[in-house]
């Protein structure tokens, strides 16, 4: 029996387990929305939630809102190194004010502010370097006051 190279390649490919999202532009999927509050209305120094989970190969819209009276940062150098960023957006009252392209290292959100970070995780890991490095007058940083979190990418 003769079998063509093309047929052989088809047989090999058909036998491999392929994730459903493997084909096409991963940044053009319908995004999974994850909302994180930076600080609380009462001025508590924490991220809500403070544990985030993502999966590689999926598009996320990480919505960062600040309901508190303080400005806050969302900073995780490890997360920044493990994602491909499609864009970041700044919104006010549901209206888009700015769209930023390129790599994002950290995002600062002012009281009442709303930003979105659209990204696709490309590497796995668990890391606890999410923090806010704003310092209040007197020297204590929000990180020292409990504004920290853990991120897992599976
Ligand atoms: Cu802060």
Domains in the chain with CATH codes: 25-153 (2.60.40.420)
- Gap from CA of 36 to ligand 1 centroid (Å): 13
Token pair, residue 121, equals 């995780």
Computed over every residue of the chain, the mean pLDDT equals: 89
- Gap from CA of 52 to ligand 1 centroid (Å): 17
Tell me the percentage of the chain whose pLDDT exceeds 70: 85
CA distances from 103 to 19, 49, 79, 86, 141 (A): 26, 24, 11, 8, 26
- Gap from CA of 2 to ligand 1 centroid (Å): 68
- Gap from CA of 58 to ligand 1 centroid (Å): 28
The SS3 of residue 147 is coil
**CA distance linking residue 63 with residue 53, whole number of Å:** 14
Tell me the percentage of the chain whose pLDDT exceeds 90: 80
- Gap from CA of 37 to ligand 1 centroid (Å): 11
Tell me the per-residue pLDDT of 24-43, one tens digit each, with 9 for 90 and over: 899 999 999 999 999 999 99
Predicted TM-score of the model (pTM): 0.84
DSSP 56-116: TT--EEEEEE--SSS-EEEE-HHHHHTEEEEEEEEEETTEEEEEE-S---EEEE-TT-EEE
């Amino acid at each position: 029996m003769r079998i063509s190279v093309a047929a052989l390649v088809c047989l090999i490919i058909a036998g491999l387990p392929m994730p459903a999202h493997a084909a096409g532009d991963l940044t053009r999927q319908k995004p999974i929305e994850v909302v994180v509050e930076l600080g609380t209305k009462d001025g508590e120094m924490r991220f809500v939630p403070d544990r985030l989970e993502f999966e590689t190969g999926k598009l996320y819209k990480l919505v960062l809102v600040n309901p508190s009276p303080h400005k806050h940062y969302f900073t995780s150098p490890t997360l920044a190194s493990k994602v491909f960023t499609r864009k970041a957006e700044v919104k006010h009252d549901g209206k888009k004010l700015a769209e930023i392209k390129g790599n994002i290292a950290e995002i600062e959100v002012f009281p009442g502010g709303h930003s979105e970070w659209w990204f696709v995780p490309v590497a796995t890991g668990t890391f606890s370097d999410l923090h806010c490095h704003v310092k209040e007058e007197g020297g204590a940083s929000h990180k020292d006051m409990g504004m920290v979190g853990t991120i897992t990418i599976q």
